[in-house]
Structure 1
Amino acid sequence: MGSDLGHADQYPVYLGVWTNWSRGRVLGLTLTIGRQEANLLIAFTAFFIAFVATRFWRVVCFAFHRLYATATSQNAIYHQRQAILRNSSTAEGAIQQLFELMWANRHRSDRFAPLLMALIALLCTTVFTAAGGLSSQISTAVGTEVLIRSLNCGISNRHFYDLQDYFALVSFQSEFIDNAANYAQQCYSSNASGNLDCGRFVIQNLTSIIDDDASCPFGDDICRSSSKNLRIDTGYIDSREHFGLNSPDRFFARSVLHCAPIKTKGYTSLRSTSMGNFTLYHYGSTLAPSGRQNFAFAAESIESQYAFAFSPDYPTSGGNYGVSALRYNVANKTVVNSEAQFIPINSLFRDDADITLVFLSGNGVFHSAPSTDEWYRVSPIAVNVSASLNAAVTPFPIYLPEEPASPLGCASQYQFCHGDLQHCGALASMADARSSVASLFHTTAAAYDDSNSTSQDPFRYFVAGFAPTQSASIPAMLSQLGSASLASKSSITSLLQGPLPSNQWQLDVIRWSDITKASLQAAYLGISYSNPPDGSRLQYRMNFTSQAFETLCNNQKIRSTAYTSFSVFGLLFTFIIGLLIAMISYLLEPISRMLYKKWGYQTFAYLEWNTNTTLQLQRLAHEQLGFGTWSKGADEIPITEAGNLLGCLDISNPDHPVLSPPDKYRIPLEENQSDHETLEDVTSFALVSDGRASSVGSVYTDSSASNVAEQASRLPTIPRTAGFTIGTADEV
């Protein structure tokens, strides 16, 4: 049996790479690491995605810059857009510049020329920002599933050699069932208080299809109702998705619980003995110390059950329901007499199910109101308690059960499948369900406790979870919990039961189903790992010896927030694609250079891309004005000769700064010339070539046209190109 179901972090976890078969061989490749390392990996991944975003934008800029490149004359918007594409390092920066470019030219008809690139930049920013934010999905998409490291792989031994062994195993089973009931109360109930960790199993709870208007599960009209009965079908439970068995082999299990209150009229008799009066229930025969008896159950009379509570000589004390379960199992469509607690009558016999008969006795519990529930059978007539019942409760009218015991019959069926839902055995009793599917697993009808299995026989491991010592059946659960198994216990205080709805028995059976499902969830965890505080308990455990079983034990999944699992596929995809994008971005320009130099491929596009860099644009501005002797004009970084000085920024017109010659070529002022005169007596000069003038600078003059040429000629570095004329701007 497993230990406390409420704490997931008590299990050692496998750290490293493993395959989560629920996600497939490729997508299921998973990396599990500690939380601290996981936080670093998530942060690094987000940083890497941000880096890739800049490199991807570089590729986009290169592609569109070359796409737009044309050797014909274009307007300023074209050249400015090309310059933005060449020099924007991030899409975010380009967005701002492109929209500002459109706004600055908002009155022109071609103002929307940069719009496409602005939208592409916005799309890139959005996509990569989202990718960075969602990078943690590489972990969260996988969830918190981890593999535990197996310890003492095996099951509790069901073979008893003496009473000590028997009671030792009973104590294990009692603890296990109590834990399953607590888990069902906390994690299956809609009004759970949440004191337990409900996120421990791979799935919090197993759902079921509930039909509360089902037919009678038995024949001969023995049910109290032909239609208002309960059928709970778990559907097909997946060994991977629901039990956490992380194996390439996939199994499915299904259980159906079909219950109905049973008629008592015609099936009871009274017997008086030295111990009192009893009601006998003739639903079959049972074996007593004196021999086989022709009844299945005997209940004390109502007077005997409530004698102590009605006695004026004793104070009232808490009453509690009596819940007694009898069962018989079916194998080869016949009752297994050696395991049967009663041999049923024909009306209660089914050859395709294991049957449990549950008797509910009032046993001193008073009801505060009548109820139409078909199992509790509360009388509609109040009991006169004025003279006999303790005064503490005399203000209340009280009601008693109509019969000493009320029977409820339940049929339990099982079905197993291998691989998919097209390869299933019969829906039958547990024994027949196992044997009917054995051929699909290439085995025989496996015993629960066969520890020596081959790798071709994983079904034995799977079916071991349904062993009576590994999970809780309905009879075992009722025998252990008794009245604590009833959902009605939440509205009982001392000996007084609160009002019951008409479907209370159905709520009880649903709780039973929840407890058994919770025990199944814990069963496989208990097979894989057992580390009881009292080490002596391990002597009652049968460890699996086959390599196949040990492999399965080391592939048991749970959920744990103490560790983080990553999708290896997601990590590899992110980093490989990111590195490819980065590599392409770094190789585009060298490849373009090689193609240009070797074959002259797209000469204009290549040269425009190169000359649109910030430093080349700077070269173009200074070189055209004759400032500096430049080289490497087709490279990313141009250079000048040593000692060359470039132009200075002339801000005499703050609204239109221009480049002016270097300081060393300016005409010095006369000593008696004031600063005011200096600012006013500035005459622009121009170089004229082929009839076109361009302003290339200013000299400090006395505004005399005759002195302009003289003073300008004192600028030795201005090229004396043939055909150029120097003069005042007005003369030119």
Structure 2
Amino acid sequence: MSEVESRFVKRGYWVNLSKGPIMGQTITTDTQTGAFLVALLAITTSLGMSHLWHLITFFYHQSRADGRPSDGLFRHQQALFRTLPTPSSLTADSIKLWYAWRGVGDHTLARSLPHTIAALLFAVGSIAVSVFSSSVASSTDLEVLVNSPFCGIMDPNSTSWQSYLNVVSSEGTSYASSCYRAGSLPSRCDVFSHSSVPFTTESSACPFDQKMCASPAVSFDSGLVDVNDAFGLNLHASDRVRYHKVASGNVLGRPPLPDEEFVKYLYGNTDALDFTVSQSLLNANANMQIRTSAVWTYVFTDENDFVPIPDLKRHDADVTLRFILKNSIMFMQPVDDPMYSAHREVKLLDTQGENNTRFISDFPGSHQMCVNTPNGESCTALSGLLYDYSNETIPGANQLQLAVLRIVEQAALIFDNSVPQSYIVEDTSDSRESITEIPDDQWIKETQRWEAIVWATHQIMVTDVAIGPAVRDPLSQQFVLPPTNEQHQNLCRMQKMRKQGGFVNFNYFGLVFTISVSGTIVLIDLVLLRFLIYLRKFQQALAPRIDRWTQDSVFQLDRRAHEAQGNGIWKDLDNEVPVTTEGIELPDLLLETLPPPSTLRPLTSTQLVQSGERTSFQTLLSETQTQGLGLSDLEPRCHGPGPHILRDSDGCTP
């Protein structure tokens, strides 16, 4: 059993309804396109988080820009925030500021540590967001939608399916052995949406007349399973179908008779024969392999080749009689298991001339179908297969649900407990075809395995409808019917299977959410901090805090430093980038500090400010430079039209 071929995988957008109508939206691409989208996601996420940090830093700077006098650490921190540092840069620079201002400012550690912690938390959050964005894409153990041009069902009126049935039976037996068990499963089990269909195993009463049962019965019950889960169908909630299968079995034993040469078993009539199954003991004595023969009868049809005796007759279940011809298989120990009961001793002479003792040995099903209807769930009775699923037998079912029921019914009709041909005990025989000791409940393990094989073959046959039975067995092409109505055409596009590689699935919601949120954050940052912030009306609405954002820029701080040294006359003081009034050369800034600031003396010269323009004062700087004025004392404070005379640091006099 191999996974679906790549040529049958649907590319593009589809909805995995098992994950919901929102989170189930999926885009399936090849690995090359997937790698491009993964890279795009990584870049988009990185940009979004970077610009989000810019916005956080901007609003934090604005919340602190209240205009009150503060110490040097505060001014340095505001200048640092104005540079829009990365979280790692803010962490490092905050530590530098704390170290430089320790012992000088008040509570420097308490004022620096929150910035460091916030930056580190944001960095961790960025990593978490990156992990989330990577989870949007998955490239292993994928659930993909089947899209095959060979979709079709086996012709129910044909009986020449043997080639296809043999292939499905063989693959189902192998798959059940590997995948219908507890514990870790091999990768070959990652074929269907769910590797197996769970069922319970319980002891039950004899399903026939009590005298027919040589042992207690065992029952295998799947409960009502959703066909979406059992077979990987992708049906909407309103189209859901549930399937309930119960199989009960026991051993119909009899004691051996003396001098038997040919045995006929009569458990009901088959065609014109006066027995159900026969066995030649001459052939049995020469055969050391288990052989199987089976007959069956169905409740809701009169076209049965086998009519069971009254003691085996059931009116609420289909009956399968499985004859296990053990022939001359031998056991190394007495066996009390009712299926393999062996107590007669046989002496064999081995190659060493020694005698060795060996022992020669001396199954109804019910189905229930439920569909979701506008008036609630509608179910058939737990009984045999109906053969005719329509609105009369299951009221309220829509045409798509009826199409699903017919496909499930076809699988259940063809592959029942008479199909499995292998036995666990055959795997335990030694080189002399003798079977080692087996437990008393071996027959339960055997029947449990048969039930697993039945479910495995059902999984294969239902999924083959969408892929095409002829893909699995080319010889069956002539017996395959293409979709003949809208419902079957829809079913061709509703089959999910698993794929281990070669494709990438993207969660459409996660992809759109990540790109949309990141794009919105980037757009807000660019529009707000790169455009709106410099519009005059926007500045007036947010003044005076927004003015402090402008004045804390590195260009404004550089302008102030040059003004403090009397370098040039500056204009555009309200803009992010101030410039000199003339194209002059500016010397390097001094490495020495200026003398302590002192009170301004009355000025002996004036500098006019042109209408509507702020400018610096070269003459003023020349007269006041020797007094050691601070940077804030040198900034002109006059606004508006008309000439003004700068008197001191307290204001302007017209």
What 5-or-longer segments of structure 2 have no aligned partner?
603-617, 629-654
**2:117 equivalent among 94, 111, 119:** 119
**Do the aligned partners of 2:8 and 2:467 also contact (CA within 8 Å) in 1?**
no
Matching residue within 465, 470, 476 for 1:527: 465
How many angstroms does 1:89 deviate by?
Answer: 3.4
Partner of 1:382: 345
Deviation of 1:220 after TM superposition, in Å, equals 3.0
- Identity across the alignment (%): 21
2:405 counterpart (463, 467, 470): 463
Cα distance between partner residues in 1 of 2:434 and 2:489 = 52
Q: 1:608 to 1:221 in 2, by over 3 A?
A: farther
Match of 1:33 among 25, 29, 34: 29
What's the CA shift for 1:225? 4.2
Deviation of 1:435 after TM superposition, in Å, equals 6.5
* Structure 1 residues 662-673: aligned runs within 5 Å: none
Change (3 A) 1:687 1:545: closer
Report how far residue 467 of structure 1 moved. Answer: 4.2
**SS of alignment partner, residue 528 of structure 1:** helix
Question: Structure 1 residues 476 and 608, CA, compared in 2 at 3 Å: closer, same or farther?
Answer: same
CA 1:596–1:642: 2 relative to 1, 3 Å: closer
In structure 1, stretches of 5+ residues that fail to align are: 161-165, 309-317, 404-408, 443-455, 651-656, 660-683, 693-715, 727-732
> Aligned match of 2:317 in 348, 353, 363?
353
Match of 1:369 among 333, 341, 359: 333
Q: TM-score, normalised by structure 2?
A: 0.83
CA deviation profile, 1:17-60 (whole Å, cap 9, x unmatched): 12222223332222111111101111210121011111000111
Return the offset for 1:644: 3.2
Alpha-carbon distance between aligned partners in 2 of 1:68 and 1:189, rounded to the nearest angstrom: 65
How do residues 589-628 of structure 1 correspond to structure 2 at under 5 angstroms? 589=529, 593=533, 597=537, 600-628=540-568
Question: Structure 1 residue 254 and structure 2 residue 244: aligned?
Answer: yes
Question: Is 2:628 the counterpart of 1:720?
Answer: no
Q: Deviations over 1:347-376 (max 9, x none)?
A: x33322112222223212111222232221
The answer as to whether partners of 1:14 and 1:32 remain within 8 angstroms in 2 is yes
The aligned residue for residue 690 of structure 1 is: 600
| Structure 1 match to 2:425 | 488
Aligned pairs for 1:405-424 (under 5 A) are 409-418=363-372, 422-424=377-379
**1:477 maps to 2:419:** yes
Render the CA deviation track for 1:617-673: whole Å, top value 9, x for unaligned.
2222222332222222232222223443434255xxxxxx437xxxxxxxxxxxxxx
Preserved contact between residue 271 and residue 306 of structure 2 (Cα < 8 Å): no
1:256–1:412 CA contact under 8 A, matched in 2: yes
Spell out the pairing of 1:644-683 with structure 2 (5 A cutoff).
Answer: 644-650=584-590, 657-658=591-592
- Once residues 101 and 345 of structure 1 are traced to their aligned partners in structure 2, the CA distance between those partners, rounded to angstroms, is 97
Find 1:563's aligned residue among 503, 506, 514.
503
| CA drift at 1:86 | 1.7
User: Are 1:431 and 2:386 an aligned pair?
Assistant: yes
CA distance in 2, matches of 1:471, 1:637: 84
Give the CA deviation at 1:156: 1.6
Kept in 1: contact 2:200–2:221 (CA 8 A): yes
- Among 17, 20, 26, which residue is 2:16 paired with? 20
- Asked if 2 retains the 8 angstrom alpha-carbon contact of 1:415 and 1:433, the reply is no
Cα pair 2:331 2:342 within 8 Å, conserved: yes
Deviation digits for residues 489-517 of structure 1 (CA, Å, limit 9, x no counterpart):
22124531122122211221121122111
2:265 and 2:383 map into 1 onto residues whose CA distance is: 27
Alignment: residue pair count: 605
Sort the Cα spacing of 1:533 and 1:257 in 2 relative to 1 into closer, same or farther, 3 A: closer
Distance (whole Å) between structure 2 residues aligned to residue 25 and residue 618 of structure 1: 57
**1:148–1:598 CA distance, 2 compared to 1 (3 A):** closer
The equivalent position to 2:449 in structure 1, one of 501, 506, 511, is 511
Q: Which amino acid aligns with 2:285?
A: A
Number of the residue aligned with 1:730: none
For 1:92 and 1:516, the matched residues in 2 are separated by: 61
Q: 1:618 to 1:419 in 2, by over 3 A?
A: farther
Q: How far apart in 1 are the matches of 2:136 and 2:415?
A: 40
Letter in structure 1 aligned against 2:383 = A
Name which of 84, 88, 94 aligns with 1:88.
84
Specify whether residues 6 and 470 from structure 1 end up closer, same or farther in structure 2 by C-alpha distance, changes over 3 A only: farther
Contact 1:271–1:279 under 8 Å retained in 2: no
Aligned partners of 2:625, 2:147: CA distance in 1, in Å?
A: 91
Indicate the residue corresponding to 2:285 in structure 1. Answer: 307
Q: Which residue of 1 aligns with 2:606?
A: none
| RMSD value, Cα | 3.4
Tell me how far apart the structure 1 counterparts of residues 230 and 179 of structure 2 sit (CA, whole Å).
15
Aligned-partner Cα distance in 2 for 1:416–1:298: 40
Distance (Å, rounded) in 2 between the aligned partners of 1:721 and 1:583: 48
Asked if 1:319 corresponds to 2:288, the answer is yes
CA distance in 2, matches of 1:395, 1:192: 44
CA contact (8 A) 1:424 1:437 kept: no
The yes-or-no answer on 1:287 pairing with 2:252 is no
Give secondary structure in 2 for the equivalent of 1:720: helix
2:490 counterpart (545, 548, 551): 551
Q: Look up the match of 1:632.
A: 572
* Change over 3 Å in CA distance of 1:414–1:17 after alignment to 2: same
- Corresponding residue to 2:56 among 57, 60, 72: 60
Q: Which residue of 1 aligns with 2:222?
A: 234
Matches of 1:595 and 1:143 in 2, distance apart?
54
Do 1:305 and 1:364's aligned partners in 2 also have CA atoms closer than 8 Å?
no
Q: Distance in 1 between the 2:297 and 2:475 partners? A: 33
Q: Which moved more, 1:570-579 or 1:431-440?
A: 431-440
Please say if 1:201 is aligned against 2:197.
Answer: no
CA contact (8 A) 1:217 1:411 kept: no
What is the aligned partner in structure 2 of residue 398 from structure 1? Answer: 358
Amino acid in the other structure paired with 2:261: N
Aligned residue for 2:72? 76
Q: 1:369 to 1:206 in 2, by over 3 A?
A: same
SS of 2:379's equivalent? coil
Q: Is the 8 A contact 2:270 2:305 kept in 1?
A: no
**What secondary structure does 1:384 align onto?**
strand
Question: Counterparts of 1:598 and 1:183 in 2: how far apart (Å)?
Answer: 70
